[in-house]
Structure 1
C-alpha cells in the first residue's frame, strides 16, 4: 500500500510503513520532545533508511531535541525512500556536515541561552524588517538614501550602487557604499595596499607590527622570515578584505604551513601575502571623520560559549539567530562549512559535535572580522583620549583621508596608549559603516548621517534634518521599466513595506511614483527600485522629498 505526500512542491508516493512511522513521529509537533537515545530508534523505523548515532551530551543532563532537528532528519529519510536509497551517518558530526546547508531552522530543547555581553542582551533595531528586504550589499546605500531624504536632499541611485545626492543649490555629492567625497582616489589606493600603509605609518612614527611582504612563490622564504622574527605571527593577503585568508596567532612553523595552505585556497590566493609579528591585544575599529573620532568598536573573533550541555553546532545555530536579528550581521552568520572554523576547532581538539564546558569560550575564526561572524561592541564612551589621538595621527599620515576606519590592537581601551601595547594594523578608507551603526552591543552611532553631514560641510553646504521619521517622496525610474510588470512589482514591494502611495507609467521608458511611510521603509523601497522584477533593467532612480497625502493603499495607476 502507498500514500501520497507533497514534498518540495511535488507529489511523491511512500510505502505505508514509512508513512506511518513519519506520521507517528510528527503527531506531537510543534511540542514534540524526544530523548536522544530514542531519536535514532524512531528514524530506524522508517524502513531502516537512516541511522544517526547520537552521542550523549552529558550523562547527567540529556538534551532533548524537538521539532526542527527531527524534521530535518525525517525529510532526509523520506527523500531517500523515494529514491530507493539508504543514508547512514556514523556520527552526529557527520550528520552536521552533511545536512547543515539544508537546515533553514534549527531548534533544540532546552535551548541555549541568548548570547550576552556584560549581562546585556544584543541590541534590537526598528529597521530590521526594512533591511531584510534588501540585497546582500544594499544596506550602505539604503542608510545614505534615508539620511539624504531626511535632510530634504534629492538623490539619484544607479545600478552599481553609486549615489548622487543633490543640494537645492545644485551642488552634488557622490557616494558609493562607504566611499565619499571625504576620501581622495590617491588615499584609497594607498590604504588598499597594506604595505604602502605600513610605510606611511612608519614615517609618521605610528606603531605598526614588524613584518614583510612575500610573493606567493616565496613560501620557504616566508617560513624562514617567521622563524627569524619569532612566533606567534600573522599571515594575511597584501590587499585583503573581509578577513579572507587572514590567520592570526600562528604559534609555530607547522601552523604557518597550514595558514599558507588556507591562503592558497582563498579568493585572494593569487595575491602576495604579509607575514608579521602577532601583537597582543583585542581588535578595534576606530572611526575617524574630519579629524574627529566618532565611534570605537571592539570586534571579537567569532565564538560560542559552552554550557556543558549543547554541542558546538547547537551553539553556532543559536548564535546565528542573534546575528540574523542585526541589520548588518543578518547576511554574515558563522558558517559551519568555513575552512577556518574547522581549523580553529581542530586546534582546540574539538569538532562540531563536541560539548564545551560551562563558560568555555570556543573560537571559530582566526581573525576578528565581522564578516566571519564576530561580535561587535561599541565602546567610544570608554575609549581613552590618548588612543583617540593616536587614531587621528594615523589618519593624518595619509593625505586626502578624511573618513577612515582605523584598525588597532589594544590591550585595554580604557588605559593610556603609552602604558600598554597599542598598534595600528590597518587603515580602511571605505570602512563599512555597519559595525558602528549596528553594533551587537553598546551605543548605536549614526555613521551614515555623520558621513553625509561632513561631506556636505566639506563642500560648503549646510544641511539639517527637515523630515520626521515618517516621510513622503516622489521618485522616477528610468530604463526598461514598462511592459515588464514593473508597476505591479513596485506595488508588491510597497505593500510588503507598509508604504502608501501610487505608481504609473510616464512614458515608454519612465515610471513615476509617490510613496509615504516610515523613512526606513521608504528608503528601502528606493533602494529596491533600482533592481526591479525579472526582465526589467532600471538605469536610475531619482527621489526627492514631497508633501504627505491622504492615502489608504498603494495603487497602480494608468
Structure 2
C-alpha cells in the first residue's frame, strides 16, 4: 500500500498524528502498549520510557498543553512575548452574546467565532459579516462537543470540565461555556511546524485548515524571511514546556520582514497536525513524524535503530467482549489491508487475543488504532500490546 493510500485511510484528522507516531515506534522495533484515546507507552529500554497522547510526545508538559488549549491564556502569553495576534475577546454563552455582537461591530466585520477552550484549530467559523452570522455560529457551538457531528474521542479539552444542560428539550453547553470573537485577518495563510526549537515545515495554504476549506498547499520552508522563523520560535517559547507546536500565521508577504507588514498568529496548537503536510505530500508527513519521534527519543537519551521498511510483530488484544469473534475480526481486517495475520491463542474468559502480524508498519499502526476505537466490527480493545517478533 502506498503512503498516499495509507494517509487517506487515516481519519479523522484528530487521530492522524497518533497513528503516524505509532508507525514510527513500530518501525524502530520498540515494544509498545496502546490504550484508548491514542495513549501510547513504550516501556523502559536502557532506563528510558517514551509516551505519547494523540501523537503529542511526553516532552510536552501538561501545563503548557492546557495553556495552549485555553485561548485567553494562549493569547495573553503571546502578547506578553511580543507576538502579534488579532484583536479578540471571549464571552460566555449565557450572558455574553450581546457583548460579542457589540465587539464585532467595534473591530469591524468580518470576524471569526470559535470555542475559547479545547482543541485548537477546530470548529472555527470564518467570514462572519453580520450579527446573524454570529447567531448561526453560536447555535452550532451551543450543542455540547460530544453531540456535534463528527465528534471523535481523540478530541479533548483539558480545561473544560462543566457539565452540559438542557434547553427546550435540547442538550446544550452550560451558560459558562466560553467562545471567542476575533477580527479576521486577510492575507496569506501559513501553517508552521516547530519542533525542539527548530522550524521544520512551513505550508503556504490553499484554504484554511481550521474551517475545512483547506485543499492543499506548498511547502516553502527555506523560502520565507528569517524574521518569520524567529517569530514562530518566539511564539512557541511564549508557552514554555511545549516541545512542538503547529502555528498558523496570516501575513501580507512571507518573504518580507515581519516588522514591515501587518500579520498575526491566529492559531497555536500543541498538536503537530501533520494531516496538513500530508495533503501536500504524504511521504513528507511520515518523515516529519519519524523525525519528531526520534528527536524525542534522543532528548530522553534513547538511541533508536534505523527504521524498518516492514515489521513482524506479536499482538496482545485485551478486554474484547468476545475474544473468539474478535480474533476473527482482527485477522479479517488485517488481511483486507494487505497484512499477513494469524491468531495464535485465545483466552475467551479474559477476552484476550494473541496474534501475529506482518507487513507495512503504517498499516499495522492504523489497524491497532481501529482496534482501540472500536471500528472493527464493534470489537473494542482496551489495551493492545505490540512487540517485535
Fold conserved (TM > 0.5)?
yes
Residue 57 of structure 2: aligned partner: 180
Query: Do structure 1's residue 409 and structure 2's residue 267 form an aligned pair?
Result: no
Q: Is the 8 A contact 1:284 1:299 kept in 2?
A: yes
Secondary structure of the structure 1 residue equivalent to 2:45? coil
Structure 2, unaligned runs of 5 or more:
145-171
Structure 2 partner of 1:472: 312
> Are 1:233 and 1:275, in contact at CA under 8 Å, matched by a contact in 2?
yes
1:152 maps to 2:58:
no
Displacement of 1:506 in angstroms is 4.9
Query: Following TM superposition, by how much is the alpha carbon of 1:476 offset from its aligned partner in structure 2, in angstroms?
Result: 1.6
Pair 261,141 (structure 1): closer, same or farther in 2 beyond 3 Å: closer
User: Within 1, Cα distance between the matches of 2:46 and 2:11?
Assistant: 33
Q: Gaps spanning 5+ residues in structure 1: where?
A: 1-124, 302-367, 547-558
Larger Rg: 1
Larger RCO: Structure 1 or Structure 2 (Cα < 8 Å, ≥ 6 residues apart)? 2
How far apart, CA to CA, are the structure 2 residues paired with 1:283 and 1:262?
22
- Of residues 217, 220, 223, the one that matches 1:379 is 220
2:162 matched residue in structure 1: none
State whether residues 123 and 211 of structure 2, in contact with CA within 8 Å, keep that contact through their aligned partners in structure 1.
no
- Match of 1:490, SS? helix
Q: Determine the C-alpha separation between the residues in 2 that align with 1:278 and 1:532.
A: 38
Contact 1:379 1:443 in 2 (8 A): no
1:68-467 to structure 2, matched below 5 A, reads 126-130=2-6, 136=12, 138-216=15-93, 217-239=95-117, 241-248=120-127, 250-251=128-129, 255-266=130-141, 267=143, 270=173, 271-301=177-207, 368-369=208-209, 372-377=212-217, 378-436=219-277, 438-440=278-280, 444-445=284-285, 446-467=287-308
What is the alpha-carbon distance in structure 2 between the residues aligned to residue 532 and residue 258 of structure 1?
36
Q: Distance in 1 between matches of 2:139 and 2:375?
A: 38
| In structure 1, distance between residues paired with 2:17 and 2:339 | 21
Distance 1:506 1:294 in 2: 45
* Cα distance change of structure 1 residues 226 and 506 upon mapping to structure 2, 3 Å threshold: closer
What RMSD over aligned residues (CA atoms) do the two structures have, in Å?
A: 2.7
Given the superposition, is the C-alpha separation of residues 256 and 382 from structure 1 closer, same or farther in structure 2, using an over 3 Å criterion? farther
The 1:411/1:135 distance shift into structure 2, 3 A limit, reads closer
8 Å Cα contact 1:487-1:504 kept in structure 2: no
C-alpha distance in structure 2 between counterparts of 1:175 and 1:230, whole Å: 42
How many Å apart are 1:231 and its aligned residue? 3.9
Aligned length: 350
Q: Tell me the residue number matched to 1:104.
A: none
Task: Evaluate the alpha carbon distance shift between residue 218 and residue 154 of structure 1 in structure 2; reply closer, same or farther with a 3 A threshold.
Answer: same
The residue number in structure 2 matching 1:544 is: 387
TM-score normalised per structure 2: 0.80
Residue 545 of structure 1, CA deviation: 1.9
Quote how far apart the aligned CAs of 1:542 are. 1.0
Conservation of the 8 A alpha-carbon contact between 2:335 and 2:341:
no
Superposed CA deviations along residues 117-149 of structure 1, whole A, max 9, x for unmatched, are xxxxxxxx9234445666645433321221101
Given that 2:323 and 2:346 are in contact with CA atoms closer than 8 Å, whether structure 1 keeps it comes out as no
1:483, distance to aligned residue in structure 2 (A): 4.8
Mapped partners of 1:425, 1:514: distance in 2: 46
